[in-house]
Amino acid sequence: DGGITQSPKYLFRKEGQNVTLSCEQNLNHDAMYWYRQDPGQGLRLIYYSQIVNDFQKGDIAEGYSVSREKKESFPLTVTSAQKNPTAFYLCASSIPGPVNQPQHFGDGTRLSIL
Amino acid sequence: AQKITQTQPGMFVQEKEAVTLDCTYDTSDPSYGLFWYKQPSSGEMIFLIYQGSYDQQNATEGRYSLNFQKARKSANLVISASQLGDSAMYFCAMREGTLGSNYQLIWGAGTKLIIKP
């Protein structure tokens, strides 16, 4: 079955540490996205990528970095510069182009500070 | 300015009753799409239903239907015969086809729906 796999499901970060969240998709989608969700809130866009080797900042990119070396993979690194990283992180992918294409999501990663 | 507004932070509904979740939007783009997603407590985001700005009929998917009133810029989700498993957060989102940047979705703040047995 095609889908999006996020790992790990739970992640703990120590002060001053960078951590990387994995996102892999086998839907053959060109576009991929990272969102942050705080408790009781909606989704905020961190980064997105429309094509391999290209990505753009979203609304809250500070303290995060991404890479897109392969179509299937879009890892997110939460750097030590992100002072409040505790949140739920969702990765999504979609077919770019037609407006009727939904984004498909992984199951998310919950990140907490130790 | 808010582009997607969901005015109901939370709702309680009796099992088997129908429920309407409100969503209003704001855009000057003639081409846009509206999406509803369900997020259970486990966290995954599940796509439910889509309505395009040029669609002549309201979208339906099983027990989900969309009450699309273009002139009022509203796209309310209707869930018929609610079930306990419908308890979740529900998000409305919009994608602008011409003016929108890079296929991004614009998200509402969500409505928490609780179905009472």
8 Å CB contact between A101 and A95: yes
Quickly tell me which residue has 């997603």 as its tokens.
B37
Give percent of chain A above pLDDT 70: 99
Tell me the pLDDT tens digit for each residue of A25-46: 999 999 999 999 998 888 999 9
Burial (CB count <10 Å: 0-12, 13-18, 19+), residue B108: buried
Rounded to the nearest angstrom, the minimum Cα separation between A37 and chain B is 10
Give percent of chain B above pLDDT 90: 85
Give the span between the Cα atoms of A16 and B111, in whole angstroms: 36
B91–A42 CB contact, under 8 Å: yes
Question: Cα-atom radius of gyration of chain A, to the nearest Å?
Answer: 13
The tokens for B24 are: 């209003």
Q: How many CA atoms lie within 13 A of B80 on its CB side?
A: 8
Rounded to the nearest angstrom, the minimum Cα separation between B64 and chain A is 16
Burial (CB count <10 Å: 0-12, 13-18, 19+), residue B112: middle
Give the span between the Cα atoms of A67 and A76, in whole angstroms: 7
Tell me the pLDDT tens digit for each residue of A61-84: 999 999 999 999 999 999 988 889
Give the span between the Cα atoms of B21 and B19, in whole angstroms: 7
| Average pLDDT of the segment spanning B110-114 | 97
Lowest mean pLDDT among A18-22, A57-61, B96-100: B96-100
Q: Is the pLDDT of residue B99 over 80?
A: no
8 Å CB contact between A100 and A1: no
pLDDT confidence of residue A71 = 97
The tokens for B115 are: 């179905």
pLDDT confidence of residue B108 = 94
Which member of A41, A88, A97 has the closest CB to residue B43?
A88
Q: Peptide bond preceding A96: is omega within 30 degrees of 0, i.e. cis?
A: no
Give the span between the Cα atoms of A100 and B32, in whole angstroms: 8
Rounded to the nearest angstrom, the minimum Cα separation between A5 and chain B is 11
A100–B33 CB contact, under 8 Å: yes
Q: Which of residues 21-50 of B touch A (CB under 8 A)?
A: 31-33, 35, 42-47, 50
Q: How far apart are the first and last CA of chain B?
A: 38
Give the span between the Cα atoms of B23 and A26, in whole angstroms: 32
Tell me the pLDDT tens digit for each residue of B34-78: 999 999 999 999 999 999 999 999 999 999 999 999 999 999 999
pLDDT category at B102 given cuts 50, 70, 90 is low
Residue numbers in B near A103 (CB within 8 A): 35, 47, 105
Residue numbers in B near A96 (CB within 8 A): 102-103
Q: Which of residues 18-47 of A touch B (CB under 8 A)?
A: 31, 33, 41-43, 45
Average pLDDT, chain A: 93
Residue numbers in B near A7 (CB within 8 A): none
Give the span between the Cα atoms of B107 and A44, in whole angstroms: 8
Give the span between the Cα atoms of A16 and A13, in whole angstroms: 8
pLDDT confidence of residue A15 = 83
Rounded to the nearest angstrom, the minimum Cα separation between A48 and chain B is 9
